[in-house]
Structure 1
Amino acid sequence: MIRTRSALPAVVAVAVAVAAALALGGCKAGSSGSSGAPAGKAPHGSALAAADALTVKGRAPKTGYARKEFGSAWSDTDHNHCPTRDDVLKRDLRDVRYKSGDCQVASGTLVKDPYTGTTITFVRGHSKVDIDHVVALSDAWQKGAQQWDRTKRTALANDPLNLLAVDSSTNRSKGDGDTATWLPAYKPSRCGYVARQVAVKKKYALWVTSAEKNAMKRVLSGCPSEKLPTG
């Protein structure tokens, strides 16, 4: 009996300590993060919030897809008298030199390619740099674009928001993969890459598959404050 009475205060003390620890833990779980949003909720204006709002449907057949359905390659849709390809090269390369005037890019350097993290020298006609459609045109075709007119498809194909200068061999291995099937090997680029795909799909009201949406949210959950790119 003496042992029982002397042990009771210790048991009570432990119980109080555990309760206090749980209370503190609960406060931390419910507190706001650096984004100012409650834990578990995507910050307003973030790519994660936009991904969560994308429409989910199944992938439509690829029947009828052809590159020409998105207009001629690298049209001058912004009417600056330069093809879209050169506009993107000027935007993404450093130390740019021109073949003539200030339009046709002759050479430059792609510093830290977003797909491989390497630095690539661009020389026109001997290039290892491609301009990638972040949302592949055939992927877009199967997720809403087949229902559009040619003007809207041409706009998507030439929208700088949907275009990146990247390593050519990696771009070709990507094919028409979406977030569920392909991500850049260079991990520091993944948040920005997925955020750009989300931005394009939101802008053009393209849908996503369930697997694709889950993959987008999985990547962006690791960078919940990643902003939605604009273009």
Structure 2
Amino acid sequence: MPRRRRSRRITAPMLVIALVVVAAWVYLYGPDGMRSEAGDAWLPPAASDGAGGPGDGAGTVDPDLARLVVAEGGATQPYDRDRFGEAWLDVDGNGCDTRNDVLIRDLADVRFRSDSADCVVRTGTLTDPYTNTVISFVRGPDTSDAVQIDHVVPLSYAWQHGASTWTDDRRAAFANDPANLLAVDGPANQAKSDSGPAEWMPPATGYACTYVDRFAAVLLSYELTVSPGDLDAIVRVDAGC
């Protein structure tokens, strides 16, 4: 006769071990958990008709600079930040606004506000690409500005080079596209303001090649023009890469 299999009984020691494992998981990954490395990169939603957006394309290495269209900036209407939508939107529908999505992507050792479902970044560490310095981020009215989210191609620059003719939806997509966003040193971002590469480059010269490549790739992806001086600066930097 075949032997009957003995049914496994859940013993007290097994129950204790299971509870310990669950408690450890909650501690590490619960609402106030810590991610030991930079947050996972996230992708923007697929561009809808008329919205447009580079997605991963803006991260392309060695964009074809010959495709850039040169034109002096100009628009029939003055630049207005509100024309690019609310800052910041939840464009990917994950429940977090774009600012926090970028902080999660670019910072290491991220901790979240306990009531935010792993969304609102409370603290973290940024290795700033613009200055090559390490910055401790602490959320607060007097401390949050130490780390700011930079539009690699500034919104006002985009307005002057083609975005003034876009739909509001396309401008909102551009303003929240992670391919055009970086968490950076606050003072460096303020110094850059709305400048192109001819007027401002990252103080950390080792980031120059990546910066001009990203700037050019965003222009190409959104079919924006570039000023003659900015193209000269991009080409000059790219020649040494």
Tell me what 1:110 maps to: 126
Cα distance change of structure 1 residues 167 and 62 upon mapping to structure 2, 3 Å threshold: farther
Tell me what 1:65 maps to: 79
Tell me what 1:135 maps to: 153
Aligned residue pairs, count: 177
Work out whether residues 52 and 213 of structure 1, in 8 Å CA contact, stay in contact via their aligned partners in 2.
no
**Backbone CA RMSD of aligned residues:** 1.3
Separation (CA, whole Å) in 1 of partners of 2:70 and 2:61: 19
Work out whether residues 62 and 142 of structure 1, in 8 Å CA contact, stay in contact via their aligned partners in 2.
no
Separation (CA, whole Å) in 2 of partners of 1:46 and 1:129: 26
AA at the equivalent of 1:131: I
Tell me what 1:165 maps to: 183
Q: CA deviation at 1:74?
A: 1.1
Work out whether residues 75 and 160 of structure 2, in 8 Å CA contact, stay in contact via their aligned partners in 1.
yes
Tell me what 2:46 maps to: none
Separation (CA, whole Å) in 2 of partners of 1:134 and 1:108: 22
Q: CA deviation at 1:62?
A: 7.7
AA at the equivalent of 1:175: S
Whichever of the two has the greater Rg, that structure is 1
Q: CA deviation at 1:61?
A: 4.2
Work out whether residues 132 and 163 of structure 1, in 8 Å CA contact, stay in contact via their aligned partners in 2.
yes
Instruction: Report runs of 4+ in structure 1 exceeding 6 Å deviation.
Output: none
**Where does the alignment leave 5 or more consecutive residues of structure 2 unmatched?**
1-59
Question: Match for 2:229 among 211, 214, 226?
Answer: 211
What SS does the corresponding residue of 1:138 show, helix, strand or coil? helix
Cα distance change of structure 1 residues 203 and 130 upon mapping to structure 2, 3 Å threshold: same
Matches within 5 A, 1:90-105: 90-100=104-114, 101-105=117-121
- TM-score, normalised to structure 1, is 0.74
| Fraction of identical pairs, as percent | 49
Cα distance change of structure 1 residues 197 and 62 upon mapping to structure 2, 3 Å threshold: farther
Work out whether residues 77 and 164 of structure 2, in 8 Å CA contact, stay in contact via their aligned partners in 1.
no
Tell me what 2:97 maps to: 83
Work out whether residues 135 and 162 of structure 1, in 8 Å CA contact, stay in contact via their aligned partners in 2.
yes
**Where does the alignment leave 5 or more consecutive residues of structure 1 unmatched?**
1-44, 224-231
Tell me what 1:33 maps to: none
Matches within 5 A, 1:1-231: 46-47=61-62, 49-61=63-75, 63-100=77-114, 101-111=117-127, 113-125=128-140, 126-127=143-144, 128-223=146-241
- TM-score, normalised to structure 2, is 0.71
Separation (CA, whole Å) in 2 of partners of 1:199 and 1:158: 16
List per-residue Cα deviations over 1:62-115 (Å, max 9, x = no partner): 84211110000010111111100000000000000000321111110002x111
Q: CA deviation at 1:170?
A: 1.0
What SS does the corresponding residue of 1:89 show, helix, strand or coil? helix
AA at the equivalent of 2:183: A
AA at the equivalent of 1:190: A
